[in-house]
Structure 1
Amino acid sequence: MAATRLITLHMNKGRTLLQCLQDRTNYAMNPDKTENGELVTAYACDPKSVSQEFLLSKRDYEQKTGKKPKGDVIAYQIRQSFKPGEVSPEVANRIGYETAMRFTKGDHAFIVSTHTDRAHVHNHIIYNSTNLSCDKKFKDFWLSGIALGRLSNLICLENGLSVIAPQPFHSKTTYIHGERKPTFRDGLRENIDIALSKKPKNFDDLLMELSSLGYEIKRGKHIAVRGKGQQRFIRFRSLGRGYTEDDLQKKIEGVVKGAEAKKKTPDYRDDSFDLLLNLQDIIAKGKGPGYETWAKKFNVKNVMKAILFFQEQGLRSYAELEKRAGDASERFDKLSSDIKAYEKRLKEISELRGNIITYSKTKQIYTQYRQSGYSKKFFAEHKDEIMAHKAAKDSFNKITGRLPSVKELNAEYEEVLSQKRAAYAEYKQVKKDMQTYQVAKYDIDKILGIDGQQKETKHQEHTR
C-alpha cells in the first residue's frame, strides 16, 4: 500500500532559482536518509548535478519560447509512503521510479530518493517542470493528485502489494493533492490497523505492537499513547468508533475466535475493484450477514473468472500456469534491465557529444591562453571557457581507443533510441501479460487452497 501526495515547488523569497532547486534535491538525497545514496536513482539526469541540469533546461526553455512567467513552478515533488513492513527499500525505490516514469510519460527528468529514517519507507520523487525538449512545462491538470493515487495503486497491484481503497472526491484523506495533512490521530488509527493485521492475542499484545511502532504507552484508568513528535498522549476513547478500548477488545476477540475455527472458505482477490477479500476476517469484524452473503457471491464470481481464464488460455495444468507466469516475469525483468541500459548509454552519448562540441568551441580560447603564457589576466577574462575546455579534455582521457566524431555519436544515439523504443513497446505488453498471469495464479492458488509447502506438493501432482 502506498499513500501519495503531489506538491508544487516554487521559488522562495530571497533565494536564487539554483539555491531553491538545491534545497529540495539535497534534502531528498540526504545520505543519512538514503543509505549513503544507495537508494537514489534518476532518469535523464545525474543526481550529482541534478539542480544545475534543471536550471539549464529552464534557461533553454526561455530561449526557445521567449517566456519567463513570474511565480512559475520550478519543479514537482511526489511523496509516496508505504505501509510499514510491506516493502523493502529497494522495491520501494523501483516502484517510485516506475510511478514517476509513467506519471511524466518519460518526458521529464527526475530523481527518486527512498528514505528509511522512519518506520514507514517513503519516496521523495522530484521531477523537472520543464520537459526534456525544453519547449513545454508540465501541466498540473485538474484532479492530478487523484490520478497519481490511482496510478500508484495500479503499480502496487502489479507488484503484489495492497492498495488504498478508492476515496470519494470530498473525502478528507491524506492521499490527494491539495488536501490537509494527516493528524496524529489519523496516524495512530492507521498504525492500530497495522497492529491488528498481525493478529494480536489480547489487548496487551496490541499495545506491544504499537510500542514496536514507536509509541509510548501510558497506563491508568484510560490507556493513552504518544507517538514520535507528539507533545500530548492520546486516549483510545478519543479516536472514535471502532478504536475505543472496548471496540478494539471486541475486534481482537473476534479475530482470535476466527483463527481457532476451521476455515471453510478460501480467500480470493478481484483486482478490478482493488479489493482483498478475506471472508473469515469480514465475519470476525462483525460486518453482518448481508455483507457475508455478498462476499460469498463475490468469491464465486472469482472462481468462475479463474476457470474461464484457464479455458481461454488453453491451460491444462498448474505447471503450465506457473511456467507462463514465470516466463512473463523473467521477460519483464530482462526488458526493464535493457531499457535502463539503453537510457544509460543515451546519457553517455549525450554527455560525450556535448563535451566534444564544447572542446571544439573553446579550443581557440585555450590556444590563446597557452600563447599568453598562461596569463592570469587572460584566465580571469575567459575563466568559464578555459575551465570548460579542460573539463571536456579530461573526460576524453576516460575513453579507450579512438574518439568518435559527433556524426558517429548521432548515428549511435538514433540506433540506441530506436532499440529503446522497440523494447519499451514490448515492455508494455509483457507487463500486461505478467500482471494477467500473476493475478490468475494468485486466484488459482487461493481456489485450490495452496500456500507455502502445499505449492510444491501441488506442482508435483500436476507434473506427474
Structure 2
Amino acid sequence: MAITKIHPIKTAPGRSIKYITNPAKTEEGILVSAYACSVETAAFDFDSTFRKATQHESANKAFHLIQSFAPGEVTPGQAHDIGIELADQILQNRFSYVIATHTDKGHVHNHIVFCSVDNFTHKKYLDNKESYKKIRTVNDRICEAHGLSTIKNPDRAKETWKEHNEAGRGTSWKQQMRIDINEAIRTSLTYTQFLSKVHEMGYETKGEYDLKYIAFRKDGMERWVRGSERSLGKDFTRERIQKRIAEQIELKAQKRTDRIKKTIEEPAQFIDTSQERFADKPGLKRWADKQNLKSEFQSYRILQEHGYASLDDLAADVKRIHKDKVTLQEDIAALEHEIKELSQTIKYLNQYYDNKPYHDKLRRNKNKRLIQTKYDTELTLYTGARNMLQRLGINPQYTNLNELDTQLQNMHNQRDSMLQQYHQAGDKEVTLQKLQKMATEHLQDIAVQKEEKRML
C-alpha cells in the first residue's frame, strides 16, 4: 500500500532537490534517478523551463510529490521502480523530474520533485482536486499491478500511518464514529429517525438543520467533529447523509422490483413427462415437451443472438480477445518507452539550442571569466545538454527538431488510439465472460434437473 501527498514549491527548487538526493538517505545516491534533466543541473534546468512559461498566474516553480509505503511491504529497489512508474504515468513524459527513494525512516518512501512547466507546450501543471484524484487513482492501479494493498476508501487517503493502522485494528475513535453513523443511516427511513438513532448511540449533535455543517460528539469527548469532507469524509456531510437515506429507500424498492421480475422471467424448470399424469393427456405432454425445448435451447438462443453457434465458439472468442489485449498491453509498454526516450532527446536538444549562443559568446570573447560569471546558469545547461546528447549518440547539427516534434506527436496519437483499443477489448472480454458464465450455468442447471427427475 502506498499513500501519496503533494505540495507546491514556490521558491527555487534547488534546496528541495538537495534534500531528497541526500546520499545518507538514498543508499549513497544509488536510489536517485532523473528524467529530462540531470540530477546535478536539475535546479538550473527547472528554472530555465519555468522562465518560458506561457501562464504567469501561478508562482509554483515545482511540485514535491511523496509516495509512502507500508513498513516491510516493498524493497527500496521495488519502491524506486514503482515511483518512476508513477511519475511517468502522471507526467506523461512532458515534465522534468528527479526521484529519490529514502530508506532512513521506518518505512520506505519516494520523493519526486518535478518542474511545474511542460517542456514542450510551456504550460503549467494544473494542481487541483481532480489532478490529485488522478494521482491517487494511478497510484492505486500501479500498487495493485505490483500485488500491493490499496486504501479502499479514498476519503482515508489523507490519514497518517497511525490513524490508518488504528482504523485497521478498529481502535480509531474517528473510524468508530463513521461506523456508528453508517449503521444509523442503514437502519433509518428518514433524517429525523437517523438523528434519533445517533442520539441513542450516545452522540450529541448540533447543526442538524441550520449551521453549515452538522457536528457530532460522543459522550466523554471534549471536541465536536464536523460532518465535513475534510474531517469525516464526503459521505458524512448533512446533505450527503440525507441523500444516502433517500437512495437507500430507492434501492430497497428496486430490489423488491428485481425479485418480482426475476420470478416472472425465471427459466422454466425441466418437466418430467414420464409421470403418470401425462400418460392419458397428450395435449399436456405436447405443452410440457415444448416448455422443455424452450428451456433447453434458451442458452443457445442467447448465444445466437450474440453471433455464436455454440459455447465452444464463445470460449474461443474470449481466448482470442484476451490474447489481443495482452499483445496490445505489451505494444503500449514498448511505445511508452520510445516516447520517453524521444521526449528526453527533444528536451535536451531544446536546452542545447537555447543556451548555445552563450557558449558561442564565451568562445569569441577574450574576457572568458566575465562571461562565465555572467552566464553561469546558461553555460551549465548547455554543457549538461551537450554531454547528454553525446551519450545518446545524437549530433545536433544533423538533427531536425521539427521532424522529431512531429514524430513525437504521432507517437502520442498512436498510443492514445492503442489505449482506446485496449479498453474496448477489456470491456468486450468482461461482457463475453459474463455471457459465457450465464449460458454455462443455465445448461448445467438443466442437466442437474434432468438427472434428479431420472433418479426419482
Scaled by the length of structure 2, the TM-score of the pair is: 0.51
1:129 corresponds to 2:116? yes
Q: How far did residue 43 of structure 1 move? A: 4.0
Larger Rg: 2
Report the Cα distance in structure 2 between the residues aligned to 1:86 and 1:313, rounded to whole angstroms: 47
Report the count of equivalent residues: 316
Q: Deviations over 1:273-319 (max 9, x none)?
A: xxxxxxxxxxxxxxxxxxxxx9xx9xxxxxxxxxx99x979775878
Q: 1:333 to 1:73 in 2, by over 3 A?
A: same
| SS in structure 2 of the partner of residue 8 of structure 1 | strand
| SS in structure 2 of the partner of residue 127 of structure 1 | strand
Query: Contact 1:130–1:136 at 8 Å: present in 2 too?
Result: yes
1:208-357 aligned within 5 A: 325=322, 328-352=325-349, 354-355=351-352
Name the aligned partner's letter for residue 124 of structure 2. K
| 2:41 paired residue among 28, 49, 57 | 49
The runs of 4+ residues in structure 1 deviating greater than 6 Å are: 236-242, 311-315, 317-320, 399-402, 437-444
Partner of 1:381: 370
Query: Contact 1:77–1:124 at 8 Å: present in 2 too?
Result: yes
1:50-89 aligned within 5 A: 50-61=42-53, 67=56, 72-84=59-71, 86-87=73-74, 89=76
Partner of 1:182: 160
Report the Cα distance in structure 1 between the residues aligned to 2:99 and 2:80, rounded to whole angstroms: 7
Q: 1:117 to 1:139 in 2, by over 3 A?
A: same
Query: Contact 1:34–1:115 at 8 Å: present in 2 too?
Result: yes
Q: How far did residue 417 of structure 1 move? A: 0.9
| SS in structure 1 of the partner of residue 51 of structure 2 | helix
Q: How far did residue 129 of structure 1 move? A: 2.4
Query: Contact 1:109–1:132 at 8 Å: present in 2 too?
Result: yes
Q: How far did residue 348 of structure 1 move? A: 2.7
Report the Cα distance in structure 1 between the residues aligned to 2:109 and 2:386, rounded to whole angstroms: 38
Query: Contact 1:359–1:393 at 8 Å: present in 2 too?
Result: no
Report the Cα distance in structure 2 between the residues aligned to 1:238 and 1:396, rounded to whole angstroms: 54
Report the Cα distance in structure 2 between the residues aligned to 1:319 and 1:330, rounded to whole angstroms: 17
Q: 1:88 to 1:187 in 2, by over 3 A?
A: same
| SS in structure 1 of the partner of residue 340 of structure 2 | helix
Name the aligned partner's letter for residue 81 of structure 1. S
Name the aligned partner's letter for residue 341 of structure 2. K
| SS in structure 2 of the partner of residue 382 of structure 1 | helix
Residue identity over aligned pairs, in percent, reads: 21
Report the Cα distance in structure 2 between the residues aligned to 1:438 and 1:113, rounded to whole angstroms: 39
Q: 1:402 to 1:430 in 2, by over 3 A?
A: closer
Report the Cα distance in structure 1 between the residues aligned to 2:314 and 2:152, rounded to whole angstroms: 34
1:5 corresponds to 2:2? no
Partner of 2:451: none
Higher mean alpha-carbon deviation, 396-405 vs 49-58, is at 396-405
Query: Contact 1:113–1:123 at 8 Å: present in 2 too?
Result: yes
Report the Cα distance in structure 2 between the residues aligned to 1:162 and 1:392, rounded to whole angstroms: 40
Q: 1:368 to 1:341 in 2, by over 3 A?
A: same
Report the Cα distance in structure 1 between the residues aligned to 2:384 and 2:172, rounded to whole angstroms: 67
Name the aligned partner's letter for residue 166 of structure 1. N
Q: Which runs of 5 or more residues in structure 2 are unaligned?
A: 178-254, 259-301, 439-456
Q: Deviations over 1:229-277 (max 9, x none)?
A: xxxxxxx8999979xxxxxxxxxxxxxxxxxxxxxxxxxxxxxxxxxxx
Q: How far did residue 52 of structure 1 move? A: 1.7
Report the Cα distance in structure 1 between the residues aligned to 2:407 and 2:432, rounded to whole angstroms: 36
Q: How far did residue 339 of structure 1 move? A: 2.4
Partner of 1:206: none
Q: Deviations over 1:404-429 (max 9, x none)?
A: 536x4224413531443144224423
| SS in structure 1 of the partner of residue 5 of structure 2 | strand
Q: 1:48 to 1:5 in 2, by over 3 A?
A: same
Partner of 1:231: none
| 2:97 paired residue among 110, 134, 141 | 110
| SS in structure 2 of the partner of residue 4 of structure 1 | strand
Report the Cα distance in structure 2 between the residues aligned to 1:392 and 1:327, rounded to whole angstroms: 42
Partner of 1:265: none
| SS in structure 2 of the partner of residue 48 of structure 1 | coil
Report the Cα distance in structure 2 between the residues aligned to 1:332 and 1:368, rounded to whole angstroms: 54
Report the Cα distance in structure 1 between the residues aligned to 2:336 and 2:432, rounded to whole angstroms: 27
Report the Cα distance in structure 2 between the residues aligned to 1:392 and 1:163, rounded to whole angstroms: 40
Q: Deviations over 1:167-209 (max 9, x none)?
A: 4xxx6x3x13xxxx6264644554x59xxxxxxxxxxxxxxxx
Q: How far did residue 359 of structure 1 move? A: 4.2
Name the aligned partner's letter for residue 74 of structure 1. K
Q: 1:141 to 1:418 in 2, by over 3 A?
A: closer
1:152 corresponds to 2:149? no
Report the Cα distance in structure 2 between the residues aligned to 1:27 and 1:442, rounded to whole angstroms: 51
Q: How far did residue 164 of structure 1 move? A: 1.6
Q: 1:396 to 1:422 in 2, by over 3 A?
A: closer
Q: How far did residue 155 of structure 1 move? A: 4.2
Q: 1:320 to 1:134 in 2, by over 3 A?
A: closer
1:141 corresponds to 2:94? no
| SS in structure 2 of the partner of residue 52 of structure 1 | helix
Report the Cα distance in structure 2 between the residues aligned to 1:151 and 1:399, rounded to whole angstroms: 32
Name the aligned partner's letter for residue 165 of structure 1. K
Report the Cα distance in structure 1 between the residues aligned to 2:91 and 2:355, rounded to whole angstroms: 30
| SS in structure 1 of the partner of residue 40 of structure 2 | helix
Q: How far did residue 322 of structure 1 move? A: 6.3
| 1:29 paired residue among 15, 21, 33 | 21
